[in-house]
Amino acid sequence: MPMQFDVEKVKDKLGIGADKVYAVMGEFEDPEDLLEAGRKIRQMGYTKIDAMSPFPVHGIDDALGIPYSKLGWIVVVFSMTGLGIALLLQWFAGAGPMNTLLLRFGLSGYPLMVGGKPFFDFSYSIPVDWELTVLFTAFAAFIGMWAINGLPRLYHPSMNYRNAHRASDDRFLLIVEADDPRFSPAKTSDDMRSVGARDVEVVEG
Partner 1 sequence: MSVVVEQNPALMETNPPLMPGEPSLHHLTDRISSIIERKVGDTPLKYWITLGTTASFTVLMVGCLTYLALTGIGVWGNNRPVGWAWDITNFVFWIGIGHAGTLISAILFLFRQKWRTSINRSAEAMTLFAVMCAGLFPLFHTGRPWRAYWLFPVPNTDHNVWQNFRSPLIWDVFAVSTYFTVSVLFWYTGLVPDLASLRDRAVTKVRQWAYGIFALGWRGSARHWRHYEAAYLILAGISTPLVLSVHSVVSFDFATSVIPGWHTTIFPPYFVAGAIFSGFACVMTLLLVARWTLNLQDLITMKVLENMNKIILVTGSIVGYSYCTEFFIAWYSGDVYERFTFLNRAFGPYWWAACSMYTCNVIIPQLYWFKKLRTNLWVMFIISITTNIGMWFERFVIIATSLTRDFLPSSWWSYHPTWVDMCTFAGTVGFFFTMFLLFARFLPMIAMSEVKGVRTYEKHAFAAAAAAGAEKVH
Q: Which of 10, 66, 77, 80 binds partner 1 (CB under 8 A)?
A: 66
- Cβ atoms 163, 27 nearer than 8 A: yes
122 binds partner 1 (CB under 8 A): no
Q: How far is the CB of 178 from partner 1 (least distance, A)?
A: 16
Among 80, 77, 91, which Cα is nearest to 133's?
80
- For residue 165, give the DSSP letter: G
> Footprint of partner 1 on residues 7-26 (CB under 8 A)?
none
In this structure, which long-range contacts are made by residues 94-101, counting pairs with CB atoms below 8 Å and at least 24 apart in sequence? 94/119, 94/120, 95/119, 95/120
Part in contact with partner 1 (CB under 8 A); list of ranges 13-21, 124-132, 178-186, 189-197: 124-132
> Footprint of partner 1 on residues 164-183 (CB under 8 A)?
164-170
What are the φ and ψ backbone dihedral angles of 40, each rounded to 5 degrees? -65, -45
Q: Which of 22, 90, 189, 205 binds partner 1 (CB under 8 A)?
A: 90
Pairwise CA distance, residues 23 & 159, whole Å = 11
Q: How far is the CB of 158 from partner 1 (least distance, A)?
A: 6
Pairwise CA distance, residues 36 & 194, whole Å = 12
Q: Which of 9, 14, 159, 193 binds partner 1 (CB under 8 A)?
A: 159
Q: How far is the CB of 179 from partner 1 (least distance, A)?
A: 15
186 binds partner 1 (CB under 8 A): no
105 binds partner 1 (CB under 8 A): yes
Please tell me whether residue 50 adopts helix, strand or coil conformation.
strand
Q: Which of 12, 36, 50, 204 binds partner 1 (CB under 8 A)?
A: 50
